[in-house]
Amino acid sequence: MKKLLLLLVLTPALALASEAGYRLDRAPIDSRDLLSLQAGARTFVNYCLNCHGAQYMRYNRLTDLGLTESQIRNNLILTDAKVGDTMKVALTLKDGKAMFGAAPPDLSVIGRSRSADWLYTYLRTFYRDEKSPTGWNNAAFPLVAMPHALWSLQGERALQVVPGKNHGPAEYQWSQISAGTQSTVQYDATVRDLVNFLVYIGEPGANDRKRIGIVVLFALLILFVFAYLLKKEYWKDVK
């Protein structure tokens, strides 16, 4: 009876939280930080690649991160895949749906579709929920089918949603149930590196594209000066 009353009390708060949405934290990523990208790749293959693939990304493209093919083969390929293969998983969509209720999505372009801020917040806001089939829930993605893959690093947390005062936004109160192998600062850094990598695989050539864009704009600016001077010279005798 007490649990039922507690659920009735918290239902409006949960509904309000779902409607307003959890405030996203800014992801402190840097696509030029090769050490961060390498660490993110290591976390990805160890914790994500069991269920989620990145079918548009090849292992040998990781050489752009300063890794050799030998390092990739020995440290980042945990299956019988070859260095030139794409980062696929053996889990089929059918099996994934049967296990989790929804097939784990491919993560090739998740950084572009969801945004870095969303991913950074999502991976840091899992909490224990005994009513969930997996035993986990997420503040940024309520009723998510995915369990907390990084829970051994972050530990187990609980969440209490308190209605905001004067019809304001709901307040999220976190508490630690059990400690993980990493401190809060260390875990945030791990998630930052992972998100950095997920954003990178969405467009591995993004840095090159930006550099080329700057050069092109600079060249157009110089051409504009010459074009303007030519125009003045051509029209100087026209009244």
- Whole-number pLDDT of residue 11: 43
Residue type, 185: V
- Whole-number pLDDT of residue 98: 83
- Whole-number pLDDT of residue 162: 87
Quick check: 161 and 127 in contact, CB under 8 A?
Answer: no
Residue type, 156: E
Question: What is the full per-residue pLDDT of the chain (239 aa) written as tens digits?
Answer: 444 334 434 444 444 334 457 899 999 999 999 999 999 999 999 999 989 999 999 999 999 999 999 999 999 998 889 999 999 988 888 888 888 888 899 999 999 999 999 999 999 999 999 999 999 999 999 999 999 999 999 999 999 988 877 777 788 999 999 999 999 999 999 999 999 999 999 988 877 788 889 899 999 999 998 888 888 888 877 76
Identify the CATH homologous superfamily for domain 2-204. Cytochrome c-like domain (1.10.760.10)
CA-nearest of 101, 102, 88, 174 to 139 is: 174
Indicate the DSSP class of residue 146: -
* Pairing of the two strands 171-179 and 155-162: antiparallel
